[in-house]
A and B are shown apart, each in its own frame.
Chain A
């Protein structure tokens, strides 16, 4: 049995490791993957749609309850680490058992948030879940929403978008 020189074994090992790592990376974030995060909005709040590509390139748009755009698309980048987390958690959440019990929403302020990926739609992330994968996905969405500049859903009743915000003791000027 012939012996393989040490440097050859190291090279092969590194090659295998590289291929394996690349394979894992590809399995986590294949180049053609796109996830879409949709928040419904409510009577008193705008919703949003965030499209995340596996290369990190992403767009966000504000939209109403009927999906009608209310802003121009805003481009931003999601870090590779966060992209990996998102797609990994999507795959984990996909196999999660459905939550038991119901979920209630404020009639005029409540929203729904879902992640869509390859024909699959996540549970409503605005409902509590005791599943770790769904909770992790919810956290991903929160981080990405912040990266998109949608850190807090703008309530329509707050007049900031149309003029100075008056948070004092008197109602704002119209």
Chain B
């Protein structure tokens, strides 16, 4: 590592979401933070005078900007960094050598390799074993570039680098974002030998068979639209990963509290209920399975322009947790998110017990901390990683 990076006394209070209006004015200095109506299950005591908006001016009321950011110890760092993510989740990744974690995306980011190298270099992570493929398995003839997907791709490969620096990282780029191309890319990732595949996309057209190969652990972002669950995260063969906000400054060794990111997806899907779920409020597949941070995370992205910056969304949490699965070395023995529904795994997860992602009559399907079904909630699943131990268990 080039230099020690202190855990910043920072980050975000999910003050509101796209569904809940604007955050309280920071001009109310000294007042206690009042959660948006219907959003928070518990109480949080923060002095607004210690915080400021994540974005200024015209960019307020964006999901990414609907955050209050705390005092920054290290002025050179914007957003949550690699060492802070490791600290927050108790990760000391040493495994994963020889394991292929694939990220399936659409279109090309021509700067993916150099951006990944810059990210890893800054944090002292050794050079990546990284390869970029098109949907037919060529390391050439890449699709046309796309700025939106380019940001997604950098985020994906950098988050896997955090949680599994020793893993081999394959970025498999579909020609377009239509379903046949992404289906082909998904199949190609498996053909190339990936045992963990992370999917930070959603939509219609792919089927459960695209995510059903034995010996592969599939992960997917739960969605950024609040209460409700997207595909492919709805499939029981896929680990549905919800979103949280990390709050620094907490007492204890961890140093962070964690609450629901209010735009995280989660809820009762339309898919058949797997035999390993028996929660009372949903006759179908319930999602999410687990969750991880989805706000204010630092990435390095230069296509088409840019550099360091912060992003939000469950596009963060899927590759981050997929990397843990790769690092833990048990990816080939998994069955969707089944392992996280067992009590043995839940001992190694941080329960998320505050926050909500929408309105559902107070049900655990959108509200954390209800105790209606243990520590489970739709947007938080059974919790966020607390070391890699839950990922080392067999279902």
Complex CA gap A171/B315 in Å reads: 21
Q: Does A166 contact B308, Cβ atoms closer than 8 Å?
A: yes
Check if A111 is an interface residue, CB within 8 A of chain B.
Answer: yes
8 Å CB interface, A84-117 against B: 101-111
Chain A residues lying within 8 Å of B301, measured Cβ to Cβ, are 155, 157-158
Complex alpha-carbon distance, A41 and B65, angstroms: 13
Q: How large is the interface on B (under 10, 10 to 19, 20 to 34, 35 or more residues)?
A: 35 or more
- Please pick, from A64, A126, A165, A172, the residue contacting B61 in the complex, using a CB distance under 8 A: A64
Which residues of chain B have C-beta atoms less than 8 A from A126's C-beta?
177
B284 to chain A, nearest CB (A): 20
Number of A-B contacts (CB under 8 A): 197
Question: Which B residues, 57 to 95, have Cβ-Cβ distances below 8 Å to chain A?
Answer: 57-65, 72, 75-79, 81
Determine if B126 is an interface residue (Cβ-Cβ < 8 Å): no
Question: Closest B-chain residue to A108, C-beta based?
Answer: B313
Residues of A in contact, count (CB < 8 Å): 47
Chain B: which residue is nearest A171 at the CB level? B308
Pair B62/A156 contact, Cβ less than 8 Å: yes
Which of A103, A126, A153, A171 has the most chain B CB within a 10 Å cutoff? A171
Residues of B within 8 A of A111 (CB): 148
How many Å lie between the Cα of A64 and that of B72 in the bound state? 27
Report whether B306 and A158 are in contact in the complex, using a CB–CB cutoff of 8 Å. Answer: yes
A-side contacts of B121, CB under 8 Å: 169
Residues B304 and A152 in contact, CB atoms below 8 Å apart: yes
Residues of A within 8 A of B204 (CB): 102-104
Docked-complex contact A159 and B177, CB < 8 angstroms = no
Name A104's contact: one of B63, B75, B179, B304 (CB within 8 Å): B179
Docked complex Cα distance between A157 and B297 (Å): 9
Contact B307 A104 (CB under 8 A): no
Interface residue B316 (Cβ < 8 Å from any Cβ of A): yes
CA distance A104 to B223 in the complex (A): 12
Interface status of B168 (Cβ within 8 A of chain A): no
Tell me if B205 is interfacial: C-beta within 8 Å of chain A: yes
Residue of B nearest to A41 (CB): B62
Distance in Å: Cβ of A157 to nearest Cβ of chain B: 3
Tell me if B293 counts as interface (CB < 8 A to partner A).
Answer: no
Report which of A104, A161, A169, A171 forms a contact with B59, defined as CB distance below 8 A.
A161
Q: Are B151 and A167 in contact (CB-based, < 8 A)? A: no
For A47, give the chain B residue with the smallest CB separation. Answer: B62
B302-341, CB under 8 A of A: which get 1 and which 0? Answer: 1011111111111110100000000000000000000000
- Complex contact B205–A158 (CB within 8 A): no
Residues of B within 8 A of A68 (CB): 61
- A5 partner residues in chain B, CB cutoff 8 A: none
A-B residue pairs in contact (CB < 8 Å), sample of 28: A46-B59, A62-B58, A70-B58, A70-B59, A70-B62, A101-B178, A102-B178, A102-B179, A104-B201, A104-B205, A106-B149, A106-B201, A107-B230, A107-B318, A108-B155, A109-B149, A128-B176, A155-B301, A155-B311, A156-B55, A157-B64, A160-B305, A161-B58, A162-B55, A162-B56, A167-B306, A170-B308, A172-B308
